[in-house]
Amino acid sequence: RNATVITEKGKITYVGENPHRAIHHQIIDGKGKALVPGLVNAHTHVPMTLLRSYADDMALHTWLYDHIFPVEDRLTPDDIYWGSQLAFLEMLAGGTTCFCDMYYFIDRIAEATENCGMKALLSRGLINGEQMKDYSKDERLKEAVEGFLQWNGAANGRVRIALAPHALYTCAPGYIRTIRDTAEKLGAMIHTHVDETAKEHQDCLDQYGKTPVEHLNDIGLFDIPTIAAHCVHVTEDDLDIMKKKKVTLAHNPGSNLKLGSGIAPVPTAMKKGVNVALGTDGASSNNNLNMWEEINLAALIHKGALMDPLAVKAHEAFMAATVNGAKALGFTNSGKICVGYQADMVLLNITKPHYLPEHNLVSNLAYSAQASDVETVFVDGKILYDRGEYKTLDKERILFEIRRIYQRLF
């Protein structure tokens, strides 16, 4: 309350009630506002905005193999570029400053991210289920390595690149091993889907005699810093492995509910000290990129499922959406309003009726806040969005291109 935050050259240099510095280029009055860290979407596929509401209300395998993969085969690099920007419009207006992505044509996603000013850990989804002696000629892996060399650390460090074996059911063990070794050589992180459905869990037990987490751990994948999306069906032993190997669990409650995948054991993961972050997954399985909804779901669904009102507390859900995600994506000096941290911040209008009276702001953030409360969004101290106005994105052009792509594709 009554605090002042000073940012200089993209960093937070003062937080307190008695600012003594007199030089200001720009002063923003925060009266009636809450300043919170920018939200970090720890698992998504931004170009999938193009497939929003295209194939809903079906099981994951039918959805993916019969509907999504066939359309994805027809997407061009330009489609990916504009689809990503459609996602950025939505994410920025909802206070998301940073995201973790897995898709293809990632040079176009990286280009869009660089221009937009957001932060991202991007990855080329890697799929190869064939048993081969040598995966060095694999085209997708080559693309991923080229993407890493070209883009990792680009845009003043705002763009980072991970390697992304899509999932254990789309990647042969030898392929995952090769990706792991490549990541080790490059110093890249890993981003993958893990144990999303009961079918994946059972198939893995049948095929390898191990749970998905045990299978990936035995390949050595978790020796590399890893973001594991979903983890819906992981066991207590799996969570112990994840804690020991510092694997981040990227919880996607909205997507898991929509696809009927189940509810990840997040309260147990948190109790065991596993780093839990939050993501929306792609807009085709959610169907939006609204992190406030995920915070709300993460704070609610475990209470209901376990009949335990203490299962995930408001502050735990909010931290999962901010500092835990930033740490997981390798943006270790982001996710807090704190001296020395990058100024990735969001101003919320908290004078609206659903914030009053002001008993507990943190509770309000988890249980009452709406994406439409976001007024101003800063990344590295720069304003990217302010009360409906985008500073780096051409909204009219993006919407025009999206309509054009939609007409061509469908």
Q: Which residues bind Ni ion (CB under 5 A)?
A: 281
Q: Residue 232 Cβ, how far from Ni ion at the closest point, in Å?
A: 12
Q: Specify the residue, 261 or 368, whose C-beta has the smaller distance to Ni ion.
A: 261
Residue 10 phi, psi (nearest 5): 85, -10
Nearer to Ni ion, 28 or 127 (CB): 127
**Both structure tokens of 332:** 């270790």
User: Closest approach of Cβ 101 to Ni ion, in Å?
Assistant: 9
For residue 170, give the nearest of 214, 125, 211 by alpha carbon.
Answer: 125
CB of 55 to Ni ion, least distance (A): 15
Q: How far is the CB of 167 from Ni ion (least distance, A)?
A: 9
Q: Which of 204, 115, 103, 114 is nearest to 150 (CA)?
A: 114
Query: Which residue do the tokens 């799996």 mark?
Result: 238
Q: How far is the CB of 43 from Ni ion (least distance, A)?
A: 6
Number of residues written out for the chain: 410
**Distance of CA 204 to CAs 64, 213, 221, 235, Å?**
18, 10, 16, 13
Q: Which is nearer to Ni ion, 167 or 346 (CB)?
A: 167
Question: For residue 267, which of 234, 227, 218 has the smallest C-alpha distance?
Answer: 234
Neighbours of 340 (CB within 10 A): 9
Measured in whole angstroms, the distance separating CA 204 from the mean position of its chain's CA atoms is: 26
CB of residue 230 vs Ni ion: minimum separation in angstroms? 7
Of 152 and 252, the one with the shorter C-beta distance to Ni ion is: 252
Distance CA 261, CA 280 (A): 14
Amino acid at position 164, single letter:
A
The residue type found at 144 is: A
Q: Which is nearer to Ni ion, 229 or 384 (CB)?
A: 229
291, 39 in Cβ contact below 8 A?
yes
Query: Among residues 44 and 217, whose Cβ is nearest to Ni ion?
Result: 44
What backbone phi and psi angles, to 5 degrees, belong to 383?
Answer: -80, 120
d(CA 139, CA 104): 12
Residue closer to Ni ion (CB basis): 105 or 378:
105
Nearest approach, Cβ of residue 35 and Ni ion (Å): 31
Whole-angstrom Cα distance, residue 17 to residue 95?
25
For residue 377, give the nearest of 385, 389, 388 by alpha carbon.
385
Q: Which is closer to Ni ion, CB of 284 or CB of 364?
A: 284
Shortest Å, Cβ 268 to Ni ion: 22
Residue whose CB is less far from Ni ion, 281 or 344: 281
Amino acid identity of residue 349, one-letter, is N
Smallest gap from Cβ 282 to Ni ion, in A, equals 6
Residue nearest to Ni ion (CB): 281
